[in-house]
Protein backbone atom coordinates (compact mmCIF):
# COMPACT_ATOMS: atom_id res chain seq x y z
CA UNK A 1 0.00 0.00 0.00
CA UNK A 2 1.46 3.36 -1.04
CA UNK A 3 1.91 6.20 1.44
CA UNK A 4 -0.25 9.29 0.67
CA UNK A 5 1.74 12.15 -0.88
CA UNK A 6 1.01 15.70 0.33
CA UNK A 7 0.31 17.83 -2.73
CA UNK A 8 -0.66 21.20 -1.25
CA UNK A 9 -1.98 22.82 1.94
CA UNK A 10 -4.63 25.52 2.39
CA UNK A 11 -5.73 27.73 5.26
CA UNK A 12 -9.38 27.08 4.25
CA UNK A 13 -10.97 23.63 4.44
CA UNK A 14 -13.35 24.48 1.59
CA UNK A 15 -10.47 25.19 -0.78
CA UNK A 16 -8.90 21.80 -0.05
CA UNK A 17 -12.19 19.97 -0.56
CA UNK A 18 -12.92 21.83 -3.77
CA UNK A 19 -9.55 20.87 -5.24
CA UNK A 20 -9.95 17.25 -4.09
CA UNK A 21 -13.29 16.97 -5.87
CA UNK A 22 -11.79 18.35 -9.06
CA UNK A 23 -8.77 16.02 -8.92
CA UNK A 24 -11.04 13.01 -8.39
CA UNK A 25 -13.16 14.09 -11.36
CA UNK A 26 -9.98 13.93 -13.48
CA UNK A 27 -9.23 10.39 -12.36
CA UNK A 28 -6.57 11.44 -9.83
CA UNK A 29 -7.17 9.86 -6.43
CA UNK A 30 -6.89 12.47 -3.69
CA UNK A 31 -7.94 12.71 -0.06
CA UNK A 32 -8.24 15.30 2.70
CA UNK A 33 -5.93 15.57 5.72
CA UNK A 34 -5.47 17.96 8.62
CA UNK A 35 -2.04 19.58 8.95
CA UNK A 36 -0.21 21.47 11.72
CA UNK A 37 -2.57 20.70 14.61
CA UNK A 38 -5.65 21.40 12.56
CA UNK A 39 -4.63 24.87 11.39
CA UNK A 40 -4.05 23.84 7.75
CA UNK A 41 -5.95 21.58 5.38
CA UNK A 42 -3.99 19.24 3.14
CA UNK A 43 -4.68 17.62 -0.22
CA UNK A 44 -2.96 14.23 -0.42
CA UNK A 45 -2.43 12.05 -3.47
CA UNK A 46 -2.93 8.32 -3.11
CA UNK A 47 -0.63 7.63 -6.05
CA UNK A 48 2.61 9.61 -6.27
CA UNK A 49 2.76 8.85 -9.99
CA UNK A 50 0.02 11.48 -10.39
CA UNK A 51 2.26 14.15 -8.84
CA UNK A 52 3.21 16.05 -12.01
CA UNK A 53 -0.31 16.23 -13.46
CA UNK A 54 -1.82 17.07 -10.07
CA UNK A 55 0.77 19.83 -9.47
CA UNK A 56 -0.24 21.55 -12.70
CA UNK A 57 -3.91 21.35 -11.73
CA UNK A 58 -3.16 22.65 -8.24
CA UNK A 59 -1.25 25.59 -9.71
CA UNK A 60 -4.21 26.48 -11.94
CA UNK A 61 -6.58 26.18 -8.98
CA UNK A 62 -4.47 28.53 -6.85
CA UNK A 63 -4.52 31.16 -9.60
CA UNK A 64 -8.32 31.03 -10.04
CA UNK A 65 -10.01 29.05 -7.22
CA UNK A 66 -13.47 30.45 -8.02
CA UNK A 67 -13.50 29.18 -11.60
CA UNK A 68 -16.87 27.55 -12.26
CA UNK A 69 -15.27 24.27 -13.36
CA UNK A 70 -14.23 23.48 -9.79
CA UNK A 71 -17.75 24.04 -8.45
CA UNK A 72 -19.12 22.00 -11.36
CA UNK A 73 -16.91 19.07 -10.31
CA UNK A 74 -18.27 19.39 -6.77
CA UNK A 75 -21.85 19.38 -8.05
CA UNK A 76 -21.18 16.36 -10.26
CA UNK A 77 -19.83 14.44 -7.27
CA UNK A 78 -22.85 15.34 -5.16
CA UNK A 79 -20.90 17.73 -2.90
CA UNK A 80 -21.89 21.29 -2.05
CA UNK A 81 -18.51 22.90 -1.54
CA UNK A 82 -17.87 26.54 -2.38
CA UNK A 83 -15.63 29.44 -1.45
CA UNK A 84 -17.75 32.05 0.28
CA UNK A 85 -17.34 35.62 -0.92
CA UNK A 86 -16.75 36.95 2.58
CA UNK A 87 -14.33 34.27 3.68
CA UNK A 88 -11.23 36.23 2.77
CA UNK A 89 -12.42 39.34 4.65
CA UNK A 90 -10.65 40.75 7.68
CA UNK A 91 -11.95 39.77 11.12
CA UNK A 92 -10.60 40.09 14.65
CA UNK A 93 -10.49 36.31 14.93
CA UNK A 94 -8.56 35.99 11.67
CA UNK A 95 -6.11 38.71 12.66
CA UNK A 96 -5.47 37.13 16.06
CA UNK A 97 -4.99 33.72 14.40
CA UNK A 98 -2.33 35.10 12.06
CA UNK A 99 -0.59 36.98 14.87
CA UNK A 100 -0.34 33.73 16.82
CA UNK A 101 0.56 31.45 13.93
CA UNK A 102 3.17 33.71 12.30
CA UNK A 103 5.50 34.93 15.08
CA UNK A 104 8.26 36.18 12.77
CA UNK A 105 5.84 38.16 10.60
CA UNK A 106 4.19 39.58 13.69
CA UNK A 107 7.46 40.44 15.46
CA UNK A 108 8.91 42.41 12.55
CA UNK A 109 5.59 44.21 12.03
CA UNK A 110 5.37 45.22 15.70
CA UNK A 111 9.01 46.34 15.85
CA UNK A 112 8.61 48.57 12.77
CA UNK A 113 5.34 49.97 14.05
CA UNK A 114 6.72 50.55 17.54
CA UNK A 115 9.79 52.42 16.28
CA UNK A 116 7.61 54.63 14.07
CA UNK A 117 5.14 55.41 16.87
CA UNK A 118 7.97 56.23 19.29
CA UNK A 119 9.36 58.69 16.74
CA UNK A 120 5.95 60.36 16.44
CA UNK A 121 6.09 61.26 20.16
CA UNK A 122 9.70 62.40 20.00
CA UNK A 123 11.54 59.23 21.04
CA UNK A 124 14.16 58.95 18.28
CA UNK A 125 16.91 56.88 19.89
CA UNK A 126 15.83 53.70 17.99
CA UNK A 127 16.49 55.56 14.73
CA UNK A 128 19.89 56.66 16.00
CA UNK A 129 20.79 53.09 16.96
CA UNK A 130 19.56 51.47 13.74
CA UNK A 131 20.44 53.96 11.00
CA UNK A 132 23.14 52.64 8.66
CA UNK A 133 26.59 54.20 8.56
CA UNK A 134 29.36 54.28 5.92
CA UNK A 135 31.43 51.11 5.68
CA UNK A 136 34.54 52.89 7.03
CA UNK A 137 32.65 53.86 10.19
CA UNK A 138 31.36 50.32 10.66
CA UNK A 139 34.87 48.92 10.30
CA UNK A 140 35.90 51.14 13.21
CA UNK A 141 32.92 50.78 15.56
CA UNK A 142 31.88 47.18 14.60
CA UNK A 143 28.18 48.03 14.91
CA UNK A 144 27.26 45.52 12.21
CA UNK A 145 23.58 45.38 13.18
CA UNK A 146 23.26 48.70 11.36
CA UNK A 147 23.46 46.79 8.07
CA UNK A 148 20.04 45.33 8.92
CA UNK A 149 18.70 48.37 10.80
CA UNK A 150 17.29 50.45 7.91
CA UNK A 151 14.71 47.73 7.20
CA UNK A 152 13.07 48.53 10.54
CA UNK A 153 12.80 52.33 10.29
CA UNK A 154 10.30 54.39 8.26
CA UNK A 155 9.83 58.09 7.63
CA UNK A 156 6.16 58.58 6.75
CA UNK A 157 2.73 57.06 7.34
CA UNK A 158 2.31 56.13 3.68
CA UNK A 159 5.75 54.53 3.67
CA UNK A 160 5.15 52.27 6.67
CA UNK A 161 1.56 51.35 5.77
CA UNK A 162 2.56 50.30 2.25
CA UNK A 163 5.47 48.18 3.47
CA UNK A 164 3.72 46.55 6.42
CA UNK A 165 0.67 45.57 4.38
CA UNK A 166 2.91 43.71 1.93
CA UNK A 167 4.99 42.23 4.75
CA UNK A 168 1.86 41.04 6.55
CA UNK A 169 0.43 39.41 3.41
CA UNK A 170 3.49 37.84 1.78
CA UNK A 171 5.56 37.25 4.90
CA UNK A 172 2.58 35.49 6.45
CA UNK A 173 2.23 33.27 3.38
CA UNK A 174 5.86 32.23 3.48
CA UNK A 175 5.91 31.62 7.23
CA UNK A 176 2.74 29.49 7.17
CA UNK A 177 3.84 27.42 4.19
CA UNK A 178 7.62 27.17 4.60
CA UNK A 179 8.17 27.92 8.29
CA UNK A 180 9.56 30.67 10.47
CA UNK A 181 13.20 29.72 9.84
CA UNK A 182 12.79 30.21 6.09
CA UNK A 183 11.17 33.62 6.54
CA UNK A 184 13.81 34.69 9.07
CA UNK A 185 16.65 33.76 6.72
CA UNK A 186 14.97 35.52 3.79
CA UNK A 187 14.40 38.65 5.92
CA UNK A 188 18.01 38.81 7.12
CA UNK A 189 19.62 38.03 3.75
CA UNK A 190 17.41 40.42 1.75
CA UNK A 191 17.73 43.22 4.32
CA UNK A 192 21.51 42.83 4.42
CA UNK A 193 22.05 42.73 0.66
CA UNK A 194 19.54 45.43 -0.25
CA UNK A 195 20.85 47.79 2.45
CA UNK A 196 24.48 47.27 1.44
CA UNK A 197 23.59 47.84 -2.20
CA UNK A 198 21.73 51.06 -1.42
CA UNK A 199 24.55 52.25 0.85
CA UNK A 200 27.22 51.70 -1.78
CA UNK A 201 25.26 53.37 -4.57
CA UNK A 202 23.46 56.25 -2.83
CA UNK A 203 24.93 56.68 0.64
CA UNK A 204 23.50 56.15 4.14
CA UNK A 205 20.40 58.37 4.09
CA UNK A 206 17.61 55.81 3.61
CA UNK A 207 15.33 53.44 5.48
CA UNK A 208 12.34 51.17 5.08
CA UNK A 209 11.28 47.56 4.63
CA UNK A 210 10.87 47.98 0.86
CA UNK A 211 13.97 45.97 -0.07
CA UNK A 212 12.68 43.05 1.97
CA UNK A 213 9.18 43.48 0.53
CA UNK A 214 10.54 43.21 -3.00
CA UNK A 215 12.42 40.08 -1.92
CA UNK A 216 9.13 38.59 -0.68
CA UNK A 217 7.49 39.48 -3.98
CA UNK A 218 10.30 37.83 -5.97
CA UNK A 219 10.28 34.73 -3.75
CA UNK A 220 6.51 34.16 -3.83
CA UNK A 221 6.30 35.03 -7.54
CA UNK A 222 8.98 32.51 -8.53
CA UNK A 223 7.87 29.77 -6.16
CA UNK A 224 4.36 30.10 -7.55
CA UNK A 225 5.90 29.24 -10.91
CA UNK A 226 8.59 26.76 -9.83
CA UNK A 227 6.64 24.96 -7.09
CA UNK A 228 2.89 25.63 -7.49
CA UNK A 229 2.09 22.73 -5.17
CA UNK A 230 3.54 24.68 -2.26
CA UNK A 231 0.48 26.94 -2.34
CA UNK A 232 2.28 30.30 -2.56
CA UNK A 233 0.94 32.89 -4.95
CA UNK A 234 0.77 36.57 -5.79
CA UNK A 235 -1.65 37.82 -8.47
CA UNK A 236 0.09 38.69 -11.71
CA UNK A 237 -1.43 42.22 -11.82
CA UNK A 238 0.19 42.94 -8.44
CA UNK A 239 3.57 41.75 -9.71
CA UNK A 240 3.11 43.99 -12.72
CA UNK A 241 2.20 46.96 -10.51
CA UNK A 242 5.31 46.55 -8.35
CA UNK A 243 7.58 46.17 -11.38
CA UNK A 244 6.11 49.34 -12.90
CA UNK A 245 6.57 51.08 -9.54
CA UNK A 246 10.21 50.00 -9.63
CA UNK A 247 10.68 51.53 -13.08
CA UNK A 248 8.91 54.75 -12.00
CA UNK A 249 11.35 55.02 -9.11
CA UNK A 250 14.29 54.99 -11.49
CA UNK A 251 12.56 57.58 -13.68
CA UNK A 252 12.72 59.96 -10.68
CA UNK A 253 9.33 61.56 -11.39
CA UNK A 254 7.84 61.10 -7.91
CA UNK A 255 7.64 63.64 -5.09
CA UNK A 256 9.68 61.36 -2.81
CA UNK A 257 13.13 59.85 -3.07
CA UNK A 258 13.00 56.07 -3.48
CA UNK A 259 15.62 53.49 -2.51
CA UNK A 260 15.76 52.09 -6.03
CA UNK A 261 18.90 50.02 -5.54
CA UNK A 262 17.45 48.40 -2.40
CA UNK A 263 14.28 47.53 -4.30
CA UNK A 264 16.17 45.99 -7.20
CA UNK A 265 18.63 44.04 -5.06
CA UNK A 266 15.74 42.82 -2.91
CA UNK A 267 13.78 41.60 -5.92
CA UNK A 268 16.72 39.65 -7.34
CA UNK A 269 17.54 38.28 -3.89
CA UNK A 270 14.00 36.96 -3.50
CA UNK A 271 14.03 35.32 -6.94
CA UNK A 272 17.41 33.70 -6.23
CA UNK A 273 16.18 32.54 -2.82
CA UNK A 274 13.15 30.88 -4.43
CA UNK A 275 15.40 29.12 -6.94
CA UNK A 276 17.65 27.81 -4.15
CA UNK A 277 14.64 26.56 -2.15
CA UNK A 278 13.30 24.83 -5.24
CA UNK A 279 16.61 23.09 -5.94
CA UNK A 280 17.01 22.02 -2.31
CA UNK A 281 13.55 20.44 -2.39
CA UNK A 282 14.55 18.44 -5.46
CA UNK A 283 17.69 17.17 -3.75
CA UNK A 284 15.73 16.17 -0.64
CA UNK A 285 13.17 14.26 -2.70
CA UNK A 286 15.99 12.32 -4.38
CA UNK A 287 17.79 11.53 -1.13
Q: Which residues are catalytic?
A: 210, 263
Give the residue from 246, 270, 266 showing the smallest Cα distance to 258: 246
Label residue 58 exposed, middle or buried (CB < 10 Å: 0-12, 13-18, 19+). Answer: buried
Cα dihedral 127→258→184→111 (10° resolution): 30
Residue 257 half-sphere exposure, CB side, CA atoms within 13 Å?
A: 8
Is-contact 241 188, C-beta < 8 A? Answer: no
Maximum distance among all Cα pairs of the chain, rounded to whole angstroms: 71
Amino acid sequence: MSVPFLLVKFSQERAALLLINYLNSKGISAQYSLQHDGHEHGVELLNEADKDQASVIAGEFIQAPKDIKYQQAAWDSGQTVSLRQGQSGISLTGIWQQLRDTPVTTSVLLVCLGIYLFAMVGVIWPYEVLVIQPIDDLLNNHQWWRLIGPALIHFSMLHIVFNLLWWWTLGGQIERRLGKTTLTVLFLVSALLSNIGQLLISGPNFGGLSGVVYALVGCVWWLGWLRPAWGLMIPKPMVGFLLVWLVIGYADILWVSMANTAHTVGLFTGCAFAFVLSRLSVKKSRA
